[in-house]
Amino acid sequence: MDLEKPPAVTPAPRQYEMKPATGPQQDAAPEGCLVVAIRIPVRIVVLVLVVPVRMVWDALVVSGRFLRDTVFRPLGRAVMWVLAPVGRAVVTVLGWLAKLVFVWPWVGLWRYVVVPLGRGLGWLGHALLVVPVVWLYARVLTPLGHGIVAALQGIGTGCAWLWRVLVVAPAGWLYARVLAPSGWGIAWVARGVAAGVAWVALRLWAGIAWVGLGVWSGVTWVCRGVWAGVTWVCRGVWAGVTWVCRGVWAGVAWVARGVWIGLAWVGGGLWAGVTWAGRGLWAGVTWVAMVVGTLLRWVFVVPAVALWRWVFVPVGRAIAVVAREIGTAIGHAWRVAGYVSLAVGRFLGRLFRWIFVEPVRWVYKSVLTPVGHVVRDAIWRPAAEAARSVGRGARQALTSARETARQTRADIRRMLFGAPPEPEPVPLAKGLREPTVLPARTLEGRSGRDDLSPPRRG
């Protein structure tokens, strides 16, 4: 007996079909003999255990739906119909209580304490600050400012008049009467003097130019000699300064080279010592770490790895396989139990229909319905007709009794107080609502309209 499912045979692709892309395919992991050995027993046991549970569950579901549709939903509606007004009343009362406790105290505090206090403080501030400030501005500062402005305007007007009288008018007279004529005369004299001076200057410039050329040649020769001497002296001084600086730099460089060599020797020794000490320390730390690591590896890591590899992994795989098979078996068993529960429910429903519903239906249809029709036609309809006749007779008797009583009261009233006066009919013109042709007005001022009453509205 082969317990493994044979692989599905893949048909060869046709010529016109596209071949699937070739690539590395991951095959499903093969199942071992342990999985195949425990699968069938586990599924049988789980099916035996799950079928009753599923049937009980389905029965509870059906019962719950029946109770929900027939009991709980009407009961809930009735309870809501009863408790909804109570809930609204409770909510209304709680709302009033909340307003009474939280809203109305603050409203009263704001309306009867804060607002009057604010109004009083505002009135007090207006009376103590605004009114005095307004009075001071209107009665003191405004007149004082107006007076200061008027005084400044008067002072400015007087200063302007003094400026015009003391400065502008004399300056205008001095310019118009003295400076302008003097300027014109000075300009005429200056033009004549400038013409003479220009003529003399031209003649003097010709002589000065000839003399200046000679003097400039001599000055140039002297300056060239002086510049050559100054240049020679500066070159000598620069050479001496350069020689002195080179000697000083050579001495400084020699001293700095010696100091650097000394520092390098001392630093090399110190670095060699530090390097030797660091290498020794690193070697010791490395050896200790290696020893401790080896010890920890053989004490903790190797046993843990062996325990994980040879105990936990196989046990975990076995538990995973068993759990997977149990889960798969529970799923299959639950579905199979559903079909079994459905078949059992249908069988019980059909059995209930055969045992109870069909007999009751037959009794209702074959026995009770004919009996009911006979009772209806032979008993209820005649009884109802007789009852209706009795009712009609009773109503007619009551009507005649009421009419007799009414006539009796009218006769007694007529005997005691006499007959009431009959109303006289009011004669109306024939065809009042139809348009009529009225006669013309006569000499006596009457017309046919005087004999008619005014028409009524509506």
What integer is the mean pLDDT of 111-132?
Answer: 91
User: How open is the CA angle 242-248-251, to the nearest 5 degrees?
Assistant: 140
Q: What is the CA radius of gyration of the chain?
A: 70
Asked if pLDDT for residue 430 goes beyond 70, the answer is no
Give the per-residue pLDDT at 119: 92
Please say if the pLDDT value at position 270 is more than 60.
yes
Q: State yes or no: pLDDT of 213 exceeds 60.
A: yes
* 3-state SS assignment for residue 456: coil
Q: Quick one: average pLDDT of 348-368?
A: 89
Please give the pLDDT value at position 135: 92
- The more confidently predicted of residues 61 and 216 is 61
- Cα separation, 458 vs 453, whole angstroms: 15
The dihedrals phi and psi of 3, each to the nearest 5 degrees, come to: -90, -10
In this predicted structure, the answer to whether residue 189 has a pLDDT above a threshold of 70 is yes
> Do 433 and 442 touch, CB atoms closer than 8 A?
no
Q: Which residues contact 43 (CB under 8 A, 6 or more apart)?
A: 329, 332, 333
| Mean pLDDT estimate for the chain | 79
pLDDT given for residue 117 in this prediction: 92
Quote the pLDDT of residue 14.
Answer: 46
**For residue 323, what are the CA distances in angstroms to 46, 317, 320, 408?**
12, 10, 5, 104
pLDDT at residue 33 tops 80: no
Distance CA 277, CA 298 (A): 32
Res 115 pLDDT > 90: yes
CA distance 8 to 4: 12
What's at 153, amino acid-wise?
Answer: Q
pLDDT of res. 440? 60
The mean pLDDT value for 203-207 works out to 76
Burial class for 441, CB neighbours closer than 10 Å (0-12, 13-18, 19+): exposed
Nearest to 428 by CA among 396, 407, 456: 456
- Note the pLDDT tens digit of each residue in 432-454: 555 555 556 555 545 544 444 55
**Alpha-carbon distance 269 to 6, whole Å?**
83
Confidence of residue 456 (pLDDT cuts 50, 70, 90): low
pLDDT computed for residue 15 by the predictor: 42
Asked if 23 and 60 count as a contact pair (C-beta separation under 8 A), the reply is no
Residues 165-185: pLDDT tens digits?
888 888 888 888 877 887 787
Of the candidates 34, 43, 36, the residue with the CA atom closest to the CA atom of residue 330: 43
Structure confidence at residue 344 (pLDDT): 86
> Mean pLDDT across the stretch 329-354?
86
For a pLDDT cut of 70, what percent of the chain falls above it? 83
pTM: 0.31
Give the span between the Cα atoms of 401 and 395, in whole angstroms. Answer: 10
- Give the model's pLDDT for residue 27: 44
Residues 330 and 50: beta-carbon distance below 8 Å: yes
419-424 mean pLDDT: 72
Question: In terms of pLDDT, which residue wins out, 40 or 78?
Answer: 78
Tens of pLDDT, residue by residue over 82-91, are 888 888 888 8
The amino acid sitting at 127 is A
Q: Mean of the pLDDT values across residues 226-230?
A: 75
For residue 364, which phi and psi values (nearest 5 degrees)?
-65, -45
Render pLDDT for 236-268 as a digit per residue (tens, 0 to 9).
Answer: 778 877 887 787 788 778 877 888 888 888 888
What band does 417 get if pLDDT is binned at 50, 70 and 90? confident
The mean-pLDDT minimum among 89-98, 163-172, 208-217 falls in 208-217
Is 26 within 8 Å of 316 (Cβ atoms)?
Answer: no
The DSSP result for 278-313, as a single string, is HHHHHHHHHHHHHHHHHHHIIIIIHHHHHHIIIIIH
Residue 319 token pair = 């538990």
